[in-house]
Structure 1
Amino acid sequence: MATHKNLEDPLAGHPRYKKIRNLNKGSYGFVQLAYDKSTGHEVAIKFLQRGERLASVYVEREIINHSSLLHPHIVQFKEAFLTPEYLAIAMEFVDGGDMFQYVKAKRGLQEVEARWFFQQVMIALDYLHRVGVVSRDIKLENTLLDGNRRPLVKICDFGYSKHTEKDSVPKSRVGTPGYTAPEIVTNRRNYDGKMVDVWSAGVMLYVMLFCTYPFERPEDERETPTKKYQTVLQRVIRGDYVFPRNIPISDDCKDLLSKILVVDPEKRLTVQQVQQHPWYLKDLPSGLSQFNDNCLAKQREMPELAQNVEEVRKIVHDAMVLPSNSAFANGNALIDSYNEEPEDGMEEDGSLEFSPSY
């Protein structure tokens, strides 16, 4: 294993950023909290090990799609840059944790609070789809919360995203099984990524309310992981879910969920239809129906991005080559497995460890 000092602190000597602490790590790389000397703000920086493993188009697409977004409910992209060992992606730091941990700690949310979060998620999705980006990985773990008493939602992680005009039509099996739409599970070619995002948002709402996944059952825990995985996917294909008896929700909420978790994407509600549903409209803050119109108008008036598409592509291309001063230059590796996202890019669900009564 490499022991170069830059592996401990890849920002050592960097003119703009200074490491504060480690945040998290995974098969993709790791994330550190850093201080931006130029602005005085804290940022989160994701580090991906340089080398040929970065040849995946997903890395380039993630950065390009993310860099084009500017919205209060989406984690803001700052810049991409290189260190001798890593491709680094600097982003807005959101200090309230993710929604998965929030929901798990509360063992589910009251309907009023779940609606508040769901309204924000749908506003973010409406914006994404209007600028031509589909996430394909909407889930609690990819939804961060700020530190306010009434937290604001910020969508993050665009590793599976596609642009509806610049990229090919979505066809890969990517996402997380518990959130994945039936058309992905059945390997339907050329599916509509927007409708996949709506399905996943519906799963998010269900989990917020019941603190369990709609297509899992308590008895699944007696199965092997492989058998459980297959059982869950079969329920997804059939749209086989129920509402737990011991956690009452309103009829309007049940109606909305039943119109989102529809197996046929052509019969599923669109984002715009969800935003017209009575349950969604209840307690909707004044002005939110025009919120994205204002955001898009402001974005059109803003100066060009600090890094354009060509610059991002060059950075990613250069990241595929290890410089001679890299700690990895002699074949050492800090990260044993980097997910280059093959055709089947399924991830694992987080464990909620809570079983309502069915």
Structure 2
Amino acid sequence: MEKYEVGRMIGQGNFAKVYHARNLKTGQNVAIKVCNKEMIMRVGMKEQMKREISVMHLVRHPNIVEFYDVMASKTKIYFAMEYVKGGELFNKVSRGKLREDMARKYFQQLIEAVNHCHKRGVYHRDLKLENLLLDENGDLKVSDFGLSALLESKKKDGLLHTTCGTPAYVAPEVIRQKGYDGAMADIWSCGIILYVLLAGYLPFNDKNLMEMYKKIAKAEFKFPQWFRSDAKRLIYRILDPDPRTRITINNIMQNSWFQKGPMSVKDHEDYAMKPYCFNAFDIISLTSGFDLSGLFEKDMSERQHARFATKKPPSIVVSKLEEIAQLDGRFKVKKQNGIVRLEGNETGINEQLSIDTEIFEVSSSVYIVEVNKIVGDMLEYRNFWNQLLKPSLNEIVWVWQEYE
């Protein structure tokens, strides 16, 4: 903790206290979360703590609270993270419903953050207004991944089984305790958040918890009269009690109501590539000996991603991906939010094959490139990877760190 000057306490939970602090070298304001080691061990939260550290490393996004560093003493564990001084979105909504354009902006940013998590096999499982913060620019930041789960947490049936979350935001399939898809459960919670932003109150709310659960199970709720028809239709599709027919994130992002306004997906498609900077924690974790995700991730084959270092600038990486798409002939190239997506034109066995590539800047001459299969048939992806994608990328690779 010698690198930080710790100031006032800004938050407190059951197992941790959060302080405002300043990086003595850079002057940057940060938040320091201080956890008691003995208490964590006593209540059996050791594995949860490992998972939270691993998750915070995996999810780097402009709309997610950034994780900077983890430190430890004999009695304490310290997390240094982004200081978000705008407070909880809950406080803003507690004063009344938001204008539709403002609600849409926050919902767009929420969906982009959640989509980023799901692409990396991370499910938040406690999305609610209290866990959405606002920065000084009024942009949304998702926080508190303490209850999150990873793809590898799924059982043999492909589902998660731990019942968790906040009652008013929890999906009906979670309540039923028969296993659930973490992505679809998160989508339900996003629908609750959108409803609250537009209405100013929760769609399911009852002093009797069992009565509220009955309403959630049947999706029994009403819209206030000021809701527009297109917003209603979207919320109906999100708050579908059957996760098998509930709208997916990809379809939410294609929805006409969602695409309105300055933050629309159409606008993002023309954004230039913007490499992100890795911090020291990211660089250390690139080596297998320090990869915290390895503390509990058992089957890396499900992650379907690869990572390599290159000394070629981002423009060369993008050009190589465009060349690969042209050689194969099945893909169109989309560039948005610093990600290059190869999106299949033809539907395979399950869905159109889509592959995302993201570029991170380590220094002025070294870049890290992550390649992730987003959707599509695994066999189709492996054939494409082995026959064209990997051999072509080898021309620009400095060193591979690959998970196949």
**Aligned ranges 1:91-106 → 2 under 5 Å:** 91-105=81-95
Q: 2:270, 2:278 → 1: CA distance?
A: 16
Q: How does 1:1-358 map to 2 (within 5 A)?
A: 14-51=1-38, 52-53=41-42, 55-105=45-95, 107-148=96-137, 151-165=138-152, 169-189=159-179, 191-216=180-205, 220=206, 223=207, 228-245=208-225, 248-285=226-263, 289-290=268-269, 298=275, 305-308=282-285, 311=290
Question: C-alpha displacement at 1:83, in angstroms?
Answer: 2.8
What count of residue pairs does the alignment treat as equivalent?
Answer: 286
- Asked if 2 retains the 8 angstrom alpha-carbon contact of 1:76 and 1:92, the reply is yes
Structure-1 separation of matches of 2:72 and 2:281: 22
Amino acid at match of 1:97: G
Q: Secondary structure at the match of 2:10?
A: strand
* Letter of the structure 1 residue corresponding to residue 59 of structure 2: L
Is the Cα–Cα contact under 8 Å of residues 108 and 263 in structure 2 kept in the other structure? no
Contact 2:55 2:145 in 1 (8 A): yes
Q: Secondary structure at the match of 1:114?
A: helix
C-alpha contact 1:235 1:241 (8 A) present in aligned 2: yes
1:23–1:58 Cα change, 3 Å:
same
Counterpart code for 1:71: H
- Quick check: 2:153–2:160 contact (8 Å CA) kept in 1? no
Counterpart amino acid of residue 50 in structure 2: E
User: 2:123·2:148 contact (CA, 8 Å) conserved in 1?
Assistant: yes
Q: Which amino acid aligns with 1:267?
A: T
* Further displaced range: 299-308 or 279-288: 299-308
> What residue in structure 2 maps to residue 330 of structure 1?
none
Deviation at 1:291, TM superposition (A): 8.6
Deviation at 1:119, TM superposition (A): 0.8
Question: Aligned partners of 1:253, 1:125: CA distance in 2, in Å?
Answer: 20
Extract unaligned runs of 5+ from structure 2: 297-404
**CA displacement, residues 10-50 of structure 1 (integer Å, 9 cap, x when unaligned):** xxxx3111112100111132111111112210111111111
Q: What secondary structure, in the 3-state scheme, does the structure 2 residue paired with 1:173 have?
A: coil
User: What's the CA shift string for 1:291-338, capped at 9, x where partnerless?
Assistant: 99957xx46999871442754759x99xxxxxxxxxxxxxxxxxxxxx
The secondary structure found in structure 2 opposite 1:20 is strand
RMSD: 2.7
Deviation (angstroms), 1:230: 1.5
Residues 183-232 of structure 1, C-alpha deviations (whole Å, 9 max, x = no match):
1011122x11111111000000011111211111xxx4xx5xxxx22211
> Contact 1:63/1:312 (CA < 8 Å) preserved in 2?
no
1:250 is matched by which residue type in structure 2? Answer: R
Structure holding more strand per residue: 2
TM-score of the superposed pair, with normalisation by structure 1? 0.74
Q: Report the secondary structure of 1:283's partner residue.
A: coil
Distance 2:99 2:246 in 1: 25
Question: Any conservation in 2 of the 1:82–1:88 contact (CA below 8 Å)?
Answer: yes
> In the aligned structure 1, how far is the partner of 2:129 from the partner of 2:213?
19
- 1:334 paired residue number: none
Cα distance per residue 1:133-159 (max 9 Å; x no partner): 1111111111110112xx101111111
Gaps of 5+ in 1: 1-13, 318-358
Higher relative contact order (Cα pairs below 8 Å, separated by 6+ residues): 1
Tell me the alpha carbon deviations over residues 75-106 of structure 1, each in whole angstroms, 9 at most, x when there is no partner.
1011111134311111100110011111112x
- Which residue identity lines up with residue 239 of structure 2 in the other structure? L
Cα offset for 1:56? 3.5
Alpha-carbon distance between aligned partners in 2 of 1:310 and 1:207, rounded to the nearest angstrom: 44
Cα distance in structure 1, aligned partners of 2:270 and 2:61: 10
Q: Distance in 1 between matches of 2:104 and 2:260?
A: 8
Give the Cα–Cα distance (whole angstroms) in 2 for the partners of residues 235 and 71 of structure 1: 34
CA–CA separation in structure 2 for the residues paired with 1:260 and 1:39: 43
Cα distance change, pair 41–307 in 1 and its aligned pair in 2 (3 A): same
| Whole-angstrom CA distance in 1 between matches of 2:267 and 2:212 | 36
Question: 1:293, 1:138 → 2: CA distance?
Answer: 30
